[in-house]
Structure 1
Amino acid sequence: MKNLILLSGPVAVGKTTLKDALVSSCDVGFDYLRSGAYLLKRAQAENRPTDRRGLQDLGDSLDEATDYRWIVDEVALPVMASSEAMFWLVDAVRKERQVEHFRSLRQAKILHVHLTAPESVIRERYRRRAAVGGHALAEYAALINHPNEIESRSLISIADLVLDTSQADTDSYVERIFTALARA
């Protein structure tokens, strides 16, 4: 049986950092599902905007058209079926219904991990990311008020494991995740 870790949490909370740590820590075959890459490829094929907002809008339209199943049916299942990897990570679930669809899979053990941190820490991380990536910090207020961000933050209430990324180092998070996965 495959093991599937779902990550959720606010923008700039540390999902990518944790994903990188998980992938590099596991020597038994670990991979991750790239929902953002799927959206980007689809947006390009459909001549749609490929900026953050455009990809959010595309994801929202797919959510509506598929009852939030696109991330399971069009991203997760095809990639998992074509690989021998036993450990998988979905880098960002945004909606409760997406989590429900993943939990209904019979061919995988699911662990939903929600990352959180104090707002001041998240804002500072976003500020540093904006400085490096050339994004305007003013976008942060609009970003955190977007319905996807609001709903993603609310997934803390249904997570199997909640980790405060301001409290410990990445290695301890990896250990806690594998311990929780073994119990799942």
Structure 2
Amino acid sequence: MTPLDTENKVLLLLSGPVAAGKSTLATLFEKSIPIRRISTGSYLLTKMESGSSVNARYNLQEFGDQLDFETNFTWIYWGLVLPELNHAPNHLFWVLDSVRKLEQVECLRKWFPGKVFHVHVTASGHLLKKRYDARGRSVDSQPYSIISTHPNEIAARNLISVADFVFNTDDEGLMEEQMIALIQHIKADRR
């Protein structure tokens, strides 16, 4: 596969801690503009050899770390994003749910210079734990105290310092307002 002409494409990178609302935000984007979602979690689940759901989130974190090490972080572009773009080459707006490390952001910025918008989604610690505990998903079988201290999770939290936009989801009612402002910014930047 060869790199695509990205001149007219926009890639939104979502980052943030587990249960911050990244997937909720991606869904809001999908309902508001013609945007296609790319999921790192789905990609990792399909590539992982183990079919066990026990400690699934931890296993996903570890497998992502392994791919980062083996490919020097480039799997996120060459293995995930580029094939999706090749599948729908005329589509202009994309959202990647999610990036976890600075090197992943840098890799994607390399291939989408000037057309990458990094959105960090965050919430207060007690709300993150409450949301995580309420999910009831098999991938979230480990306690929040273990998941939230994984180095991958810490790296994701630290991406707030390099984000173009920060969404605080403590008040979920503000998410749509923040999203509309971001969409207006992206459309203005494309002109």
By the TM > 0.5 criterion, same fold? yes
CA drift of 1:171 comes to: 1.6
Given candidates 105, 117, 124, the residue that maps to 2:123 is 117
| Partner secondary structure for residue 26 of structure 2 | helix
Q: Return the offset for 1:81.
A: 1.9
Match of 1:52 in 2: 57
- Write the distance in 1 (CA, Å) between the matches of 2:37 and 2:164: 19
Superposition pairs of residues 82-101 of structure 1, within 5 angstroms: 82-83=87-88, 84-101=90-107
The alignment status of 1:147 with 2:147, answered yes or no, reads no
Q: Distance in 2 between matches of 1:20 and 1:8?
A: 15
Matched, 1:166 2:173: no
Residue-by-residue CA offset, 1:138-170 (whole Å, 9 max, x unaligned): 711011100000000000000001111114433
Percent identity, please: 36
Equivalents in 2 of 1:169, 1:69: separation in Å?
Answer: 34
Which AA in structure 1 matches 2:169?
A: T
1:72–1:55 distance in 2 versus 1, CA, 3 Å: same
Deviations, residues 42-73 of structure 1 (Å, cap 9, x unaligned)? 11xx3465522222111111000111110111
Letter in 1 for 2:96: V
SS in 2 for 1:89: strand
Instruction: Assess if the C-alpha contact under 8 Å between 1:6 and 1:112 holds in 2.
Output: yes
| In structure 2, distance between residues paired with 1:68 and 1:86 | 24
Structure 1 residue 183 displacement after superposition: 5.0
Q: TM-score, normalising length from structure 1?
A: 0.88
**TM-score when scaled to structure 2?**
0.85
**Range that drifts further, 146-155 or 163-172:** 163-172
SS in 2 for 1:169: helix
1:106 CA drift (Å):
4.0
Q: How far, CA to CA, are the matches of 1:182 and 1:121 in structure 2?
A: 32
- In structure 2, stretches of 5+ residues that fail to align are 1-7
Residues 2, 107 of structure 1: 8 Å contact kept:
no
CA distance in 1, matches of 2:79, 2:96: 13
Q: Secondary structure at the match of 1:94?
A: coil
Coordinate RMSD, CA, aligned: 1.9
Aligned pair count? Answer: 177
Corresponding residue for 2:4? Answer: none
**Closer, same or farther in 2 for the Cα pair 1:47/1:125, shift >3 Å?**
closer
How far residue 182 of structure 1 moved from its aligned partner, in angstroms, is 3.2
**Alpha-carbon distance in structure 2 between the residues aligned to 1:117 and 1:170:** 12
Q: Alpha carbons of 1:150 and 1:81: their partners in 2 closer, same or farther (altered >3 Å)?
A: same
CA distance in 2, matches of 1:70, 1:175: 31
